[in-house]
Amino acid sequence: MCGIIGFTGQENSVPILISGLYALEYRGYDSSGISVFGEDGIITKKVKGRISNLEDKILSEGNLYSECGIGHTRWATHGEPSDVNSHPHFTENLSLVHNGIIENYAVLKKELQSEGTAFLSETDTEVAARLIDREYLICRDPLKALNKALKKIEGSYAFGIIFREYPGKIFTARKNSPLLIASGSIGNFIASDIPAILKYTNKVIRLDDYDTAVISKDSVEIYDKDGNASTREFEEISWSYEIATKSGYDHFMLKEIFEEPEAVLKTISGRIKNGIPNFSAEGISSERIEKVGRIHIVACGTAMHAGIMGKYFIENFARIPVDVEIASEFRYRNPILNKGDMFIALSQSGETADTLAALRLAREKGLYTVSVVNVAGSSIARESDEVIYTLAGPEIAVASTKAYTVQCVVMYLLALDIAYKGKRMTQNEVMLATEPLVNEVSMRLSDVLGFSGYVSDICRRIAECENMFFIGRGIDYALAMEASLKLKEISYINSEAYAAGELKHGTISLVTEGTVVAAIATDASLWEKTCSNIKEVKARGAYVILFCGDNIDVPEGICDSIIKVPHIDGGLSSLCVACAFQLFAYHTAKLRGCDIDKPRNLAKSVTVE
């Protein structure tokens, strides 16, 4: 969703802000803008569309040099994407960028209008700008004015603000929307997200909710929720700038799929000791696990699909009942939550508003909360009792790939950990189950990547269709759901995932000559049944693509195309199939000429409910 970057230092801020905005593009946006200090006050340039439009505008309107400024990519919530609705929003005294939503903006707007304030845009953000401005006109003190305004604002915000009378300074505040301060050799930064500053520094301070801060080229002042000055240490981010670039790949998505073998190795490293999962560093103790009677896994989208994989692993290994739920449904249906229950939140970004809200509800009800998160220090990570980091590195493409794979890996390990601690599996059984994860998965994923070209050839047939089905049973049904989401989000082909045995209860009426059906079969114990379901659709003229393990004995003529992946014991072939269907979605979208890394209407981290 929206992105913020701000810089104050001893270099021209304009190219720095633009490069930060490009690094934030992946979050999804429909307009962008910057405000910088000019000789006679603040200069703002903002425009609907791509950041290149903003660059063109800046270039065509003359030379712009300023050592301090703020920038923003907007993903429309209040008011259509347009030049006037894009950020920064400005008054005579200040210019402001905002991530989040001002929930009581309508009331505040009325109040300001009744005092004679005129508005240019339809946004909630302009209300914040004008409210702060009103307070500033009274006290002429930016921090005081900001604090006064914040008392009136309900909702979520990360603000970056510059005041005409305070050149070289950037004022910030955050609540329920991430914001960090970074420090580098050329100056200081604010940003909503790490990739925005990685080109210049890896030293960051993540602000807490209700913090305010002021940065200048050589100082950082942070104030806590009570307004007291607060000293914070900078942390060093291990992500490098290179890892947040395409490194020669056509798209981030493809690069990230190719990073899966390494991401798996990193994620399991140090977490398996003598063949036994070990999450002691994360604080997951036997005492806590022994008490767990029920597990709730809550997440959104792809992360929720990894949660379904987790259900299969946990119920299979640990025999503890698991409910998996979409976060946006969970909190509004008055779920039955008992104190001894465990709550697992899965989230790549760690900032998904629905998942965060569900986590807060679980905490309120006294559940033991564990999050599986990819972004260190993110809100979900910080608000959980324990956090298990997936070590996938930054995921830039909107479509989640490597993060999903390592979420599944963590769920597999966690399931074994719970089973072992709960004495549901012996040491030997657990060791047998971790062995292929340690010795095979990464290598076999590399094998799958090796036939990316073959997958691309199969996609030629798919690229022409507008509808298709994915079917599977058991864990293969969980995979089918993710395969279907992946394909539709980037190729815009309508696809549905069905439990293979369920088609005949209604939906098979849609299968006619040429309908494309992709069947997934990694579980040999279910193959016979899945095979019958494939025959049912084949008999009605379907064009069948089979994704299966190479242990499956596929009868002649059962499918039209086949993508065979290496079999790995313990349900781990699923990871190879996931890699294959991610390539399948990628190549299909590429053949259709889609904007793969930034599909329409989507944002990388969904920070609104």
Sequential DSSP letters for 560-572: SEEEEE---GGGT
Closer residue to ligand AGP (CB): 326 or 463:
326
User: At its nearest, how many Å lie between ligand AGP and the CB of residue 344?
Assistant: 13
Q: Rule CB under 6 A: is residue 605 a binding residue for ligand AGP?
A: yes
Q: What are phi and psi of 265, to 5 degrees?
A: -60, -45
Bond prior to 599 in cis (omega within 30° of 0): no
User: At its nearest, how many Å lie between ligand AGP and the CB of residue 359?
Assistant: 11
User: At its nearest, how many Å lie between ligand AGP and the CB of residue 243?
Assistant: 18
Which window, 105-113, 395-403, 461-469, 555-563, contacts ligand AGP (CB under 6 A)?
A: 395-403
User: At its nearest, how many Å lie between ligand AGP and the CB of residue 515?
Assistant: 25
User: At its nearest, how many Å lie between ligand AGP and the CB of residue 301?
Assistant: 2
Closer residue to ligand AGP (CB): 176 or 352:
352
- For residue 373, which of 339, 402, 349, 396 has the smallest C-alpha distance? 349
Q: How many residues bind ligand AGP (CB under 6 A)?
A: 15
Which window, 105-113, 208-216, 287-295, 397-405, contacts ligand AGP (CB under 6 A)?
A: 397-405
Considering only 260, 489, 536, 597, the residue that binds ligand AGP (CB under 6 A) is 489
User: At its nearest, how many Å lie between ligand AGP and the CB of residue 607?
Assistant: 10
Beta-carbon contacts of 517 under 8 Å, excluding residues fewer than 6 positions away, are 468, 469, 470, 471, 511, 534, 537, 542, 543, 544, 545
Closer residue to ligand AGP (CB): 220 or 602:
602
- For residue 277, which of 107, 437, 494 has the smallest C-alpha distance? 437
Considering only 128, 399, 516, 537, the residue that binds ligand AGP (CB under 6 A) is 399
Q: Rule CB under 6 A: is residue 400 a binding residue for ligand AGP?
A: yes
User: At its nearest, how many Å lie between ligand AGP and the CB of residue 597?
Assistant: 11
Q: In what order do the strands lie in the sheet with 3-9?
A: 41-48, 31-38, 68-74, 3-9, 187-191, 180-184, 203-206, 235-236
Q: Are 410 and 388 in contact (CB under 8 A)?
A: yes
Sequential DSSP letters for 287-314: HHHHT---EEEEE-HHHHHHHHHHHHHH
Query: 2, 408, 576, 594: which one is catalytic?
Result: 2
Closer residue to ligand AGP (CB): 328 or 551:
328
Long-range contacts of 542-546 (CB under 8 A, 24+ apart): 542/511, 542/514, 542/515, 542/516, 542/517, 543/461, 543/514, 543/515, 543/516, 543/517, 544/517, 544/518, 544/519, 545/458, 545/462, 545/516, 545/517, 545/518, 545/519, 546/518, 546/519, 546/521
Binding to ligand AGP (CB under 6 A): which residues in 53-112? none
Considering only 398, 413, 459, 534, the residue that binds ligand AGP (CB under 6 A) is 398
Residue number closest to ligand AGP, CB atom: 301
Q: Cα dist. 379→175, 237, 248, 296, 436 in Å?
A: 10, 16, 32, 19, 33
Which window, 110-118, 349-357, 510-518, 538-546, contacts ligand AGP (CB under 6 A)?
A: 349-357
- For residue 222, which of 170, 156, 153 has the smallest C-alpha distance? 170
Considering only 348, 442, 522, 573, the residue that binds ligand AGP (CB under 6 A) is 348
Considering only 176, 352, 522, 530, the residue that binds ligand AGP (CB under 6 A) is 352
N-to-C CA span, the chain: 12
Considering only 172, 201, 355, 379, the residue that binds ligand AGP (CB under 6 A) is 355
Binding to ligand AGP (CB under 6 A): which residues in 294-323? 300-303
User: At its nearest, how many Å lie between ligand AGP and the CB of residue 399?
Assistant: 4
- For residue 97, which of 118, 138, 69 has the smallest C-alpha distance? 69
Q: Are 606 and 1 in contact (CB under 8 A)?
A: yes
Annotated catalytic, 2?
yes
User: At its nearest, how many Å lie between ligand AGP and the CB of residue 107?
Assistant: 30
Closer residue to ligand AGP (CB): 202 or 348:
348
Closer residue to ligand AGP (CB): 578 or 606:
606
What are the structure tokens assigned to 580, written together?
Answer: 């294959």
Q: Rule CB under 6 A: is residue 582 a binding residue for ligand AGP?
A: no
Q: Rule CB under 6 A: is residue 576 a binding residue for ligand AGP?
A: no
* Strand 157-163 with 68-74, pairing: unpaired
Query: 109, 255, 486, 604: which one is catalytic?
Result: 604
Closer residue to ligand AGP (CB): 197 or 327:
327
CA–CA distance, 214 with 562 (Å, rounded to integer): 59
Closer residue to ligand AGP (CB): 399 or 471:
399
- Taking the CA atoms of residue 190, residue 194, residue 195 and residue 199 in that order, the dihedral angle to the nearest 10 degrees is 60
Annotated catalytic, 604?
yes
Closer residue to ligand AGP (CB): 398 or 415:
398
- For residue 25, which of 96, 75, 79 has the smallest C-alpha distance? 75
Q: Rule CB under 6 A: is residue 476 a binding residue for ligand AGP?
A: no
- DSSP-H helix ranges across 492-572: 527-539
Which window, 199-207, 343-351, 568-576, 580-588, contacts ligand AGP (CB under 6 A)?
A: 343-351
Positions marked catalytic:
2, 604
The binding site for ligand AGP (CB under 6 A) comprises 300-303, 347-349, 352, 355, 398-400, 489, 605-606
